[in-house]
Structure 1
Amino acid sequence: MTATVSRRFVLLGAVLLAAVCAQVLAGRALSPPAVWEVLTGGGDHTDRHVFFQLRVPRLLVALGAGACLGVAGLVLQSALRNPLAGPEVTGVTPGAVLGAVTATGLGLAGWDSPAAVVLAATVGGFAGAGLLWLLAGRQRSDPAGTAVYGVLVSAVLGGLTAMVLLVAPGELGSVVQWLVGSTEGRVWHHWHLMWPWALAWAVLAWLLAGPLTLLRCGDEQASALGLAADRARALALLCAVALTAAAVSAVGALGFVGLLIPHVAIAVFGADLRVTLPGAALLGATVVCVADALAQSLARTLAVLLDAGRLTLPVGAVTSFLGAALLLLAVRRTPDREY
């Protein structure tokens, strides 16, 4: 790791720390002075409960989900050699959302039963990725062909999700949270279910950095260097699906995170995936944390302006706006980058 890259990691760490502070101070239930009292060992029982049982797990879940999506997006784009192969457009996120929505809409799971949601989202994510794998066939190494099949699979899974909403309209309120993405109501149980699964697959993704780097160069060159391209690609897809399912099962679908983070990570940290994969995790965590802080602050401001009491703005709505802007910036900065 060069000195320049090391300094960029330090700078990103400082930005992440600032984002964490902003997210912790952005909520309604505790004022900044009350948060400071709790952090210094004071505060009453209610303030400590709100901070440690609501704010902290929400923060950790947001960080974990962002890191998972950042790594999953980079793994997908490297394995498929496609700069548009984010979890959102390859059937992975739509499949995971379909699994979670189906389980929730049919009463098999819900926000209060995260273990069942994790299982449902994982099954749905693997189903979406498996459908893409089967349809792509021998065109798996062709970025253009894979992109077309990915859009097709995502559209089909999105249609199935809409059908579930028609079957179970009474669950529309809770289902919308899966479609847009929300960190509201995240507690320690969600974090404890997510982090071991996410950590294990994130470590596997880092161990795949070498094969993924070869896959980015093309199947012919990878095979010439002794890599079984199809096997390595299948393992990479497995890893990406598992990481996406971990994020979706915790917060729902967060638009643009898995698609934009790889572009920014490569622009900032370079093409060495042993370095860029941890960078993508930090970038994803930072973006989602910033988005959550903005969502809470905007919701409070709108509630005051509209005199509407308590308003909630899903973090997924903010990541979509941030993602569009950052992705446009990244594409303009690296217009000729090829995979």
Structure 2
Amino acid sequence: MSARWARPLLLIALVAGLLAAVAAQLATGSAVSATSTWSAVFGEADPLTTQIVHDLRMPRVLVGAGAGACLGIAGIALQVVLRNPLASPDVTGVGSGAVLGAVVTTSVGGDFASPTAMVLVAIVGGTLGGGALWLVSLRAGSDPVRLAVIGVVLSAALGGVTLVLLTARPQLTGSMTRWLIGSLNGRTWSHWSALWPWLVVAAVSGLLVSAVLQVLAIDDDHGRGIGLAVAPWRSAVLLVAVLATAVAIASVGAMAFVGLLAPHAARAMFGADHRFALPASALLGAATVCGADSVAQEITARVPGTALAGMPTGAVTALIGAAVLVRVARRTTVIGGR
């Protein structure tokens, strides 16, 4: 096969994989069997089954895939800007800021807790979390390690504020926990309506900066040597990451490690060519969330004691991501020690 067609065909294979994950997620659940699900999709099921599939499962699948794609975009953008393979929305302050915004919105309640308002407030929170990173990135020759450390400190500080709010409003702990762990339970068409316009903006913005990511991943001097305005472009990439992270968290909460898993898998397939790695990361992020939710629903159906609240999808991504994080950290240590 010609190398010219290898990468586009691999992207097509990833699209097929995502469709398979979506199909599996749509068909998973205790209330309606897989056969009945597909009958409902094609309009051949009874009204109750059709309503369950159309009003509950379909928006759940779409929101999960959209949020996963956003986290994939955010993860690869942050890893490039920070030049740190362990960077992700979870440990850069961006995710914690967006979670804080979502928790504040939930605690206020009323119209402020609508899906659209949730997205807007999460964007504000994510912007606050990423603000320090953005300001530091404006300085010529900013140290990527310093940016990463600032992100970890911000994550801890914003996480502390979130816990204070949980302590102050214990009656809302159940609903607020969704934002801390990440869950697709209760997602409706209104959540999808609030998500998809921002998903389009994040995806288009990510594709526009994808060619620049290859230069930013090397070093600042190289970028300046070829005439690239490094500071403005780094700022633009950070803003894309903030937007994508906030949109995902406002929709499903903090899905741990998705923003770490997807970029590493994408680079394993496409290397440093971010024109392909970025869309691949988005596809892999979407597939990861869909697959994890299928596992979570199976656990909910089979394990006693989980049916009432439902196994959070974020718990599954956390278990998978923790193992991958250890492997990536060990590999990074070995390479760095040579």
Task: Say whether the 8 Å CA contact 1:80–1:140 is kept in structure 2.
Answer: no
Deviates more, 1:33-42 or 1:177-186: 33-42
Aligned match for 1:11, one of 10, 13, 17: 13
How many Å apart are 1:327 and its aligned residue? 3.8
Residue 59 of structure 1 is matched in structure 2 by: 61
Task: Say whether the 8 Å CA contact 1:80–1:233 is kept in structure 2.
Answer: no
RMSD between aligned residues: 2.2
- Aligned pairs for 1:23-102 (under 5 A) are 23-102=25-104
Alpha-carbon distance in 1 for matches of 2:326, 2:253: 24
2:303 pairs with 1:315: no
Residue 336 of structure 1 is matched in structure 2 by: 335
Using structure 1 for the length normalisation, give the TM-score. 0.92
Distance 1:140 1:31, change over 3 A: farther
Matched residue count: 334
Aligned match for 1:325, one of 323, 326, 329: 323
Task: Say whether the 8 Å CA contact 1:70–1:281 is kept in structure 2.
Answer: yes
Task: Say whether the 8 Å CA contact 2:69–2:285 is kept in structure 1.
Answer: yes
- Aligned pairs for 1:264-279 (under 5 A) are 264-279=265-280
Residue 109 of structure 2 is matched in structure 1 by: 107
2:172 pairs with 1:171: yes
Distance 1:103 1:310, change over 3 A: closer
Residue 232 of structure 1 is matched in structure 2 by: 233
Q: Could you tell me the percent identity over the aligned residues?
A: 46
Q: Report the AA paired with residue 324 of structure 1.
A: A
Alpha-carbon distance in 1 for matches of 2:240, 2:209: 9
Give 3-state SS (helix, strand or coil) of 1:185's partner: coil
Q: Report the AA paired with residue 336 of structure 1.
A: I
- 1:210-229 alpha-carbon deviations (Å, 9 max, x no partner): 22211111111101111111
Residue 255 of structure 2 is matched in structure 1 by: 254
How many Å apart are 1:278 and its aligned residue? 0.7
Deviates more, 1:27-36 or 1:217-226: 27-36
Residue 220 of structure 2 is matched in structure 1 by: 219
How many Å apart are 1:48 and its aligned residue? 0.8
Give 3-state SS (helix, strand or coil) of 2:311's partner: coil
Using structure 2 for the length normalisation, give the TM-score. 0.92
Alpha-carbon distance in 2 for matches of 1:326, 1:148: 21
Alpha-carbon distance in 2 for matches of 1:69, 1:337: 27
Alpha-carbon distance in 2 for matches of 1:68, 1:261: 11
Alpha-carbon distance in 2 for matches of 1:205, 1:25: 31
Distance 1:273 1:50, change over 3 A: same
Give 3-state SS (helix, strand or coil) of 1:324's partner: helix
Give 3-state SS (helix, strand or coil) of 1:313's partner: coil
How many Å apart are 1:136 and its aligned residue? 6.9
- 1:242-273 alpha-carbon deviations (Å, 9 max, x no partner): 01111001000000111222111111121111
Distance 1:139 1:228, change over 3 A: closer
Alpha-carbon distance in 1 for matches of 2:225, 2:280: 29
Alpha-carbon distance in 2 for matches of 1:206, 1:33: 38
Distance 1:324 1:200, change over 3 A: same
Distance 1:109 1:126, change over 3 A: farther
- 1:61-117 alpha-carbon deviations (Å, 9 max, x no partner): 000000000011101111221222211111000000001101112325676x11111
Q: Report the AA paired with residue 57 of structure 1.
A: P
Task: Say whether the 8 Å CA contact 2:82–2:148 is kept in structure 1.
Answer: no
Alpha-carbon distance in 1 for matches of 2:170, 2:286: 33
Residue 293 of structure 2 is matched in structure 1 by: 292
- 1:27-83 alpha-carbon deviations (Å, 9 max, x no partner): 222112211321332111111111111111100000000000001110111122122
Task: Say whether the 8 Å CA contact 1:132–1:153 is kept in structure 2.
Answer: no
Distance 1:158 1:83, change over 3 A: same
Task: Say whether the 8 Å CA contact 1:84–1:147 is kept in structure 2.
Answer: no
- 1:165-204 alpha-carbon deviations (Å, 9 max, x no partner): 1221111110000000010111111111111111112111
Distance 1:331 1:14, change over 3 A: farther
How many Å apart are 1:320 and its aligned residue? 0.5
Task: Say whether the 8 Å CA contact 1:69–1:257 is kept in structure 2.
Answer: yes
Task: Say whether the 8 Å CA contact 2:137–2:235 is kept in structure 1.
Answer: no
Distance 1:139 1:83, change over 3 A: farther
Give the unaligned 5+ runs of structure 1: none
Alpha-carbon distance in 1 for matches of 2:137, 2:214: 21
